[in-house]
């Protein structure tokens, strides 16, 4: 498919790729369940990119705030980078409202450095890895005119009922698991599953002070439903046997896009890894954002998995190759 000349937007089904700085696109894109950031690594390779990983935090700061502003309580952010790039940016990511979940190591294997690993000259062990850190949105709920963390909101709502915390166990039909898991102040806190949340809300609204009802309401008019509560945390689905170390060779063979005999993009990510993280953190029809598209591997994976997607790419050549890839990807 030939992209019309000067075209700045390409759409196929529910996948959109736009040409330009993504920062300007976020407010118009549908809200994401998954954000896959594979942007600058501090190598000075793209327009406006810093040459120094130490400056990455400042570079990413405006994007991180926008992602927080336009995302959902169920959104997961996957942040790809070099180890040093991620280390330099981590505190800025947390400052923008994202909670750290896990760090995944992409191990490309020894073949990645074959013939290019003179450790005597390098004075270090050869590097065969990148990282993909997983963050979830810090969820806050309005309470008395302020936003409070979800975990604190649970305690504040129960306190409003006038009932002692020990009655949360009766509400859930357990000996002490509700106070120990869902209402604890220590670090061993658990998000109440929706069946427990519904039991707590029903009990509070039946036995709590009449004047304070409704309790555990997200809209101020009726208690939270199971469906609403499920969406108050990031989605996560995990197959047995997958760990935080992902052994996967760098992209090669038929998957590697080439322009003449040159690779089209130095940083093309494996489709399999993009599929892994999208499947782990979303359902069909959810929305995936790929703010730093390159060849838009995450958008291709999203399309394959029946998710909607929005990508931006600032380099015209990469934008055109990515749109061509998306329009024809079923063919390989």
Ligand X SMILES: C[S@@+](CC[C@H](N)C(=O)[O-])C[C@H]1O[C@@H](n2cnc3c(N)ncnc32)[C@H](O)[C@@H]1O
The residues that touch ligand X, with contacts defined as CB under 6 A, are 21-23, 38-40, 46, 265, 267-269, 292-295, 297, 312-315, 318
DSSP state of 223: B
Q: Cβ neighbours of residue 251 under 8 Å, at least 6 residues apart?
A: 268, 269, 270, 271
Q: How far is the CB of 80 from ligand X (least distance, A)?
A: 7
Q: Cβ neighbours of residue 106 under 8 Å, at least 6 residues apart?
A: 129, 130, 131, 132, 246, 248, 273
What gap in Å lies between CA 317 and CA 265, rounded to an integer?
10
Instruction: For 19, list phi and psi in degrees, rounded to 5.
Output: -95, 125
Nearer to ligand X, 192 or 294 (CB): 294
Query: Which residue of the chain is nearest ligand X when measured via CB?
Result: 294
Q: How far is the CB of 325 from ligand X (least distance, A)?
A: 9
What gap in Å lies between CA 187 and CA 237, rounded to an integer?
23
Q: How far is the CB of 272 from ligand X (least distance, A)?
A: 12
Nearer to ligand X, 208 or 270 (CB): 270
**The two structure tokens encoding residue 150:** 């979800």
Q: How far is the CB of 242 from ligand X (least distance, A)?
A: 20
Q: Which residues pair with 77 in a beta bridge?
A: 35, 135
Nearer to ligand X, 37 or 199 (CB): 37
Nearer to ligand X, 41 or 183 (CB): 41
What gap in Å lies between CA 134 and CA 115, rounded to an integer?
33
Q: How far is the CB of 46 from ligand X (least distance, A)?
A: 4
Q: How far is the CB of 253 from ligand X (least distance, A)?
A: 15
Q: How far is the CB of 266 from ligand X (least distance, A)?
A: 8
Nearer to ligand X, 19 or 153 (CB): 19
Which class for 30: exposed (0-12), middle (13-18), buried (19 or more C-beta within 10 A)?
Answer: middle
Q: Which whole-number Å values give the CA distances from 48 to 21, 51, 59, 250, 252, in the listed order? A: 10, 9, 9, 26, 29
Nearer to ligand X, 78 or 203 (CB): 78
Instruction: For 233, list phi and psi in degrees, rounded to 5.
Output: -145, 165
Q: How far is the CB of 231 from ligand X (least distance, A)?
A: 28
Q: If you write DSSP's letter for every residue of 281-331 in order, what string do you get?
A: H--TT-EEEESS-TTTHHHHHHHHTT-EEEEEES-HHHHHHHHHHHHHGGG
Nearer to ligand X, 34 or 295 (CB): 295
Nearer to ligand X, 15 or 297 (CB): 297
**The two structure tokens encoding residue 162:** 């006038």
């Amino acid at each position: 498919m030939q992209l019309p000349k000067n075209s700045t937007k390409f759409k196929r089904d529910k996948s959109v790729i736009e040409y330009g700085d993504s920062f300007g696109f976020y407010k118009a894109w549908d809200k994401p369940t998954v954000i896959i950031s594979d942007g600058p690594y501090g190598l000075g390779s793209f327009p406006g990119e810093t040459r120094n990983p130490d400056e990455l935090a400042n570079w990413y700061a405006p994007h991180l705030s926008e992602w927080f502003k336009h995302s959902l309580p169920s959104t997961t952010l996957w942040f790809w980078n070099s180890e040093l790039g991620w280390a330099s940016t981590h505190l800025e990511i947390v400052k923008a409202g994202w909670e750290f979940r896990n760090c995944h190591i992409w191990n490309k294997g020894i073949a990645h450095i074959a013939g290019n690993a003179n450790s005597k000259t390098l004075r270090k062990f050869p590097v065969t890895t990148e990282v993909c850190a997983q963050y979830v949105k810090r969820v806050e709920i309005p309470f008395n005119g302020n936003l409070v963390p979800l975990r604190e909101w649970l305690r504040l709502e129960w306190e409003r009922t006038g009932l002692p915390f020990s009655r949360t166990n009766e509400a859930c039909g357990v000996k002490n698991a509700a106070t120990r898991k869902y209402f604890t102040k220590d670090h061993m806190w658990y998000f109440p599953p929706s069946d427990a949340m519904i039991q707590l809300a029903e009990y509070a609204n039946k036995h709590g002070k009449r004047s304070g009802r409704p309790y555990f309401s997200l809209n101020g008019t009726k208690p939270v439903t199971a469906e609403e509560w499920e969406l108050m945390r990031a989605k996560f689905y995990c197959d047995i046997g997958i760990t935080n170390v992902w052994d996967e060779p760098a992209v090669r063979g038929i998957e590697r896009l080439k322009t003449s005999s040159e690779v089209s993009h130095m940083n093309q990510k494996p489709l399999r890894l993009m599929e892994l993280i999208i499947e782990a953190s979303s359902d069909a029809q959810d929305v995936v954002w790929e703010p730093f598209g390159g060849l838009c591997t995450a958008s291709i994976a999203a399309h394959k998995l029946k998710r909607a997607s929005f990508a931006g790419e600032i380099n015209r050549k990469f934008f055109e190759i990515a749109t061509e890839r998306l329009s024809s990807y079923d063919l390989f």
